[in-house]
Amino acid sequence: MEKHIVKVLKTEMVTHNVKRFTLEKPKGYSFISGQATDVSINKHGLENEFRPFTFTCLNSDNHLEFTIKIYKGHNGITERLLDVNSGDELILHDVFGAINYKGPGLFIAGGAGITPFISILRMLKHDHKLTGCTLLFANRTEDDIIIKDELDEMLGENHIDIISKPKSTGKQGRRIDIELLKQFVSKQYQYYYICGPDEFVSGLKTNLIELCVNEKNIVIEE
């Protein structure tokens, strides 16, 4: 198994429960936007506690970046990552992942499921190929939206936030369901990319197939 010990260069909170890690990039280390690696903390007793995280930088960057949702109260790895800061070390392993860009389409993300799409959308922006791409981004509240300003800047009106429990008075909560999808499937996107909790992904995949989307055009993590 491939193994790289890398130093943390910088950390910052990007929402109330999402932390960004900027790391050294090992020489020769490469990935495709949308892919992930197993990560562990280089501290006694934690070296073999692996968790998969998606790269949110570009392969061409001279550093690595992860944008990680922190789950408190379980004493799990993401909660331990709250205590990892500049100067600490993480351990990276083999690169893997099936969510790769195949062509313009509809990106559907639930919460932290946005992370593989961050790298893909940044790549498309860099290559001036964002035309034909739309993002439906489901979150519980407005405060949960990861890198909202950057997504707005990249996609404009094609970044559509779907909030289930909006904080604004009088605003109705919405979810991504088959009725909402009907508005977008009719536009005949070439590909449909889905990432989020397992139930979210499987439900929306079923919805898209019911709406006559070819299963070969649905891209999910297998």
CATH number at residue 211: 3.40.50.80
Query: Average pLDDT in the 166-185 region?
Result: 88
Confidence of residue 139 (pLDDT cuts 50, 70, 90): very high
- 124-131 — which CB contacts under 8 Å span 24+ positions? 125/154, 126/58, 126/60, 129/104, 130/154, 130/155, 131/104
β-pair partners for 110? 138
Q: Which of 74, 96, 118 is the last residue before a domain boundary?
A: 96
**CA distances for 89 relative to 25, 32, 47, 206, angstroms:** 12, 23, 10, 41
Confidence of residue 125 (pLDDT cuts 50, 70, 90): very high
Q: In 3D, which of 143, 10, 139 has the Cα closest to residue 66?
A: 10
| Rounded Cα–Cα distance for residues 130 and 91 (Å) | 33
- pLDDT at residue 98, as a whole number: 81
Check whether residue 47 and residue 129 sit in a common domain. Answer: no
Residue 55, Cβ neighbours under 10 Å: how many? 26
Residue 60 belongs to domain with CATH number: 2.40.30.10
HSE-up of residue 181 (Cα within 13 Å, Cβ side): 23
More confident residue, 22 or 171: 22
Check whether residue 126 and residue 198 sit in a common domain. Answer: yes
Check whether residue 137 and residue 84 sit in a common domain. Answer: no
For residue 168, pLDDT beyond 80 = no
- pLDDT at residue 95, as a whole number: 95
More confident residue, 172 or 105: 105
- pLDDT at residue 162, as a whole number: 97
Check whether residue 141 and residue 175 sit in a common domain. Answer: yes
Dihedral sign of CA atoms 2, 7, 72, 43 in order: positive
Helix or strand run (H / E) with residue 147: none
Say if residues 84 and 66 touch (Cβ distance below 8 Å).
Answer: no
Check whether residue 55 and residue 125 sit in a common domain. Answer: no
Check whether residue 21 and residue 91 sit in a common domain. Answer: yes
Check whether residue 116 and residue 209 sit in a common domain. Answer: yes
Check whether residue 114 and residue 215 sit in a common domain. Answer: yes
Say if residues 20 and 65 touch (Cβ distance below 8 Å).
Answer: yes
| Rounded Cα–Cα distance for residues 222 and 214 (Å) | 17
Q: Which of 35, 66, 96 is the last residue before a domain boundary?
A: 96
- pLDDT at residue 222, as a whole number: 77
Mean model confidence pLDDT for the chain: 94
For residue 204, pLDDT beyond 80 = yes
Three-class SS state of 82: coil
For residue 2, pLDDT beyond 90 = no
Please write the tens of the pLDDT for every residue from 141-165.
999 999 999 999 999 999 999 999 9
- pLDDT at residue 40, as a whole number: 96
Check whether residue 91 and residue 123 sit in a common domain. Answer: no
Q: Flag the least confident range among 2-16, 34-48, 177-191.
A: 177-191
Q: Which domain holds residue 55?
A: 4-96
Confidence of residue 75 (pLDDT cuts 50, 70, 90): confident
List alpha helices for the chain, DSSP H: 77-81, 115-126, 148-155, 178-185, 198-210
Check whether residue 188 and residue 161 sit in a common domain. Answer: yes
Check whether residue 139 and residue 36 sit in a common domain. Answer: no
- pLDDT at residue 72, as a whole number: 87
Query: Average pLDDT in the 61-84 region?
Result: 92
Q: Total structural domains in the chain?
A: 2
